[in-house]
Amino acid sequence: MQRNASRTLTAVLCFGMMCACTETGDQSSNSPPAYAAAADLESFCERLPRPAYSNYQKHEVSNDWFEVYEVGPAIWAIYEPFQWQEVISYLIAGDESAVLFDTGNGIGDIKSVVDQLTDMPVRVLNSHSHFDHIGGNYQFEEILSVSTPFSLSKTKGVQDDEILLEVSADALCKGLPDGVNEKDHRTRPFSISGRIEDGDVLDLGGRQLEVLRVPGHTDDAIALLDRDAGFLWSGDSFYEGPIWLFAPETDLASYQESVARMAALAPDLEAVFPAHNTPRADPALLVELRDKLGQVLAGKIEPVPSADGTVEFRFRDFGLLLREDYYLVDQD
């Protein structure tokens, strides 16, 4: 995820937390919504922990920055709950090797957590190359990527006001780990060791993960699919919260195609593992996302003004945050 550092605190926090809000486009449900709108997020720290995590036992390797939960057989959600992105990386293990899907914000030492969970070889794949998903890449030797120009541009590391905002007091529910500070925090350079393509299958020994290109949020966005288990890791293409679709690198037409591709898988899925907020979601939400997105892009749902040139479309379990001047696309 990326944001303009000039965005207001309210708009920034709309990424992650829960509150009561009114849906647009579908008023039929009497149940409270599952996520926060931009209007009610000032006390996001007080809303932790999210109820979804009560379904899982916190793993003993959890520490002051990361909370770790086994959310499926040999699948660990490595969660950063104390920072407003609420990013989730996933360690997915087979009998012979493991994949780390995303490496978080680079604020905590994710490799030390991974090393305690497995002693097998670990390959890193990133759901996409926004800074909150590649922050720990520098700690690992084997990093596979679709290697688009956007991906490659992020390997150089970044230090700017946008990154520093991620470790500001407003972004945190607790103190930073030792050695991290607002003065010099950055994403560090890393090297891509191998290229992957759509349809590639990673054999972990007893578990196979298929790479799905799902461009739209970024041009390098991917999902991972375990067809045998019916598991899909969706990255930022879907999560339970306002899905950010306003960055310069976002392409709504491509995103719509990718959402349709994921939704087509829903009947055969047991669970979706998103990259923010909650670690396990109902696959039926992919179908709802496809349908709601189609209505939004056809101009059939009125948005709620948000901040800094964005508009929000709110539904029960997720939302869409788009640029104000770019939410009507040519449907012809």
What 166-170 contacts at long range (C-beta under 8 Å, 24+ apart), as own/partner pairs, is 166/83, 166/85, 166/105, 166/107, 166/131, 166/132, 167/107, 170/9, 170/12, 170/84
Instruction: Please tell us whether the domain made up of 9-323 is placed in CATH 3.60.15.10.
Output: yes
DSSP string, 301-327: S--EE-STTEEEEE-SS-EEEEETTSS
pTM summary value: 0.90
Q: Is 152 helix (H, G, I), strand (E, B) or coil?
A: helix
Question: CB neighbours of 308 closer than 8 A, spacing ≥ 6?
Answer: 4, 6, 7, 8, 11
Give the Cα-Cα-Cα angle 272, 273, 274 (nearest 5 degrees): 110
Whether 325 shows a pLDDT value over 90: the answer reads: no
Structure-token match 């209007």, residue found: 39
Q: For residue range 203-250, what is the model confidence (pLDDT) as tens digits? A: 999 999 999 999 999 999 999 999 999 999 999 999 999 999 999 999
Q: For residue range 46-89, what is the model confidence (pLDDT) as tens digits? A: 888 899 999 999 999 999 999 999 999 999 999 999 999 999 99
* pLDDT band at residue 123 under the 50/70/90 scheme: very high
pLDDT of residue 305: 87
Of 291, 275, 191, 213, residue with least CA distance to 239:
275
pLDDT of residue 3: 33
